[in-house]
Amino acid sequence: MPFTVAIIGRPNVGKSTLFNRLTGKRHAIVDDTPGVTRDRREGDARIGDFNFRLIDTAGLDDADDDALEGRMRRQTERAVEDADVALFMIDGRAGVTPIDEHFALWLRTRATPVILLANKCEGGAGEAGRLEAYGLGLDEPLPVSAEHGQGLSELYDALVAEAEQADPTDAPETLDLEEDDPNRPLQLAVVGRPNVGKSTMVNFLLGEDRMLTGPEAGITRDAIAVPWSWNGRDVQLVDTAGMRRQARVGAKLEKLSVQDSLRAVQYAEVVMLVLDSNAVLEKQDLTIARRVIDEGRALIIAVNKWDAATDRKESLQRLSDRLQTSLPQVRGVPIVTCSAKTGRSMDKLMPAVFDIHEVWNARVSTGELNRWFEMMLESHPPPVVAGRRLRLRYITQVKSRPPTFVIFSTRADRIPESYLRYLANGLRDDFGLIGVPLRLNTRKRDNPYDNKKK
């Protein structure tokens, strides 16, 4: 296992800002509102030549175990148990609070080593609070500024010293894998409206309570990526915030959460759209599905809470009808009915994900394509446009992920959309490209006898 570091502290002391700073990406949502982070977020971090695994956690709060804040705290406690070292962060400008003292006392009872950080100390502004932090009994507090990147050299020394003591057998490596690299983890994003059971589904797949769940709608705020392995295949599983209709999204935090979810869709390879069995493919579900298709991602639909469906036959019929009328361009999208709560049919999800991923990656040889192309042109010749019959020269596949084809013709801009649909449907049916977005473009082929060209 790589050397793992967890950032902990009360809400709004700058944990997510430090996480973004050390991972080099704006992964975590940052806002002045306390309690923005709710789930554990993990990423590959680096200071200088030292690489490690970093966990961002929810703000520590002394709340009842059954309350949302209590469940968030349990996730943070688990992160501390899993980490090789904990970075306990306080707000240097605000000084030590009773909550800081409470959790410093708790940390002293844990086996995990602790490095104390006094944040917001740029320009000496938090020096008084840093000196006060000596009273927490956690060794010398290091002055840092997560926003401005100050104090990272001292943090580097402290982390390297802890790593040398821990002597981890597996040094973390951040691999820069190409898109087509077979060793690259499959990027799977789980999306849907609020409260359809996305986090419960992710927890079931992972086999642990990794994501914060509960009866409250909108618990998940960040898009949380978790490395995972299914039957020896590496997967980057991303749980996202629920996406409501844009007109209903008013709060700034919810807008940031939705943007984070849409960004997860952009970087995904396969997107699992989770539906509620008693409200299948509502208008917002269709909006999300269209966004996935427009981004060129492979789509799979998981109808959750199937054990609680009131009329299963009617639900499936409605889903099929709406897909046929509203998403005809990707007919054959895989549909899995399941229950994340009971585990019913959950074993069918990942095989369906890898099957559609294989179709999404499909490639067809140019020779095979053009033999098919000639057959299609013979059985249904191109139409006559402006008194002249269109001559389509040849076709080639320029990329996969999704399958993308280009037709070359001297009059490419005159090919009717109806004829392109005919060819696209033929590609789907004859080469098994069912259920994934398909791009069919045209490109003008230069005429060598055109005297206007030099």
Contact 115, 157 (CB under 8 A): no
Does residue 145 sit in helix, strand or coil? strand
- For the record, the structure tokens of 2 come out as 């790589």
pLDDT at residue 283 above 60?
Answer: yes
What's the start-to-end Cα distance of the chain, in Å? Answer: 63
Q: What one-character DSSP code corresponds to residue 152? A: H
- Order of strands across the sheet with 392-399? 392-399, 404-409, 439-444
For 105-261, list the strands marked E by DSSP: 114-119, 142-143, 186-192, 224-230, 233-239
CA distance 323 to 330: 9
Q: Which residues pair with 52 in a beta bridge?
A: 45
CA distance 394 to 384: 18
pLDDT winner (highest mean) among 180-184, 243-247, 433-437? 433-437
Domains located in the chain, CATH noted: 4-166 (3.40.50.300), 186-360 (3.40.50.300), 366-444 (3.30.300.20)
pLDDT at residue 245 above 70?
Answer: no
| Predicted pLDDT at 142 | 92
Give the pTM: 0.64
In the structure, what pLDDT confidence band is assigned to residue 217 with cuts at 50, 70 and 90? very low
Nearest to residue 1, comparing CAs of 87, 88, 78, 84?
84
Q: Which residues pair with 404 in a beta bridge?
A: 399, 439
Contact 74, 212 (CB under 8 A): no
Helix or strand run (H / E) with residue 261: helix 252-267
In the structure, what pLDDT confidence band is assigned to residue 447 with cuts at 50, 70 and 90? low
| Predicted pLDDT at 303 | 94
In the structure, what pLDDT confidence band is assigned to residue 338 with cuts at 50, 70 and 90? very high
CA distances from 136 to 51, 57, 100 (A): 29, 21, 8
| Predicted pLDDT at 266 | 84
Instruction: List pLDDT tens digits, range 13-66.
Output: 888 889 888 988 665 444 444 444 445 778 888 888 889 988 888 766 655 555
pLDDT at residue 408 above 80?
Answer: yes
Mean pLDDT, residues 308-334 taken together: 87
| Predicted pLDDT at 182 | 58
| Predicted pLDDT at 173 | 41
Q: Which residue has the higher pLDDT, 136 or 72?
A: 136
pLDDT at residue 68 above 50?
Answer: no
pLDDT at residue 356 above 50?
Answer: yes
Q: At what angle do helices 283-294 and 312-326 cross, to 10 degrees?
A: 50
pLDDT at residue 451 above 60?
Answer: no
Burial of 400 (0-12, 13-18, 19+ CB in 10 A): middle
| Predicted pLDDT at 174 | 38
At residue 411, φ and ψ (nearest 5 deg) are -125, 50
Helix or strand run (H / E) with residue 351: helix 349-360
Query: Average pLDDT, whole number, for the chain?
Result: 81
pLDDT at residue 247 above 70?
Answer: no
| Predicted pLDDT at 335 | 94
- For the record, the structure tokens of 101 come out as 């003292």
Instruction: List pLDDT tens digits, range 418-443.
Output: 999 999 999 999 999 999 999 999 98
- For the record, the structure tokens of 82 come out as 């899993």
| Predicted pLDDT at 56 | 85
CA distance 189 to 362: 20
pLDDT at residue 378 above 80?
Answer: yes
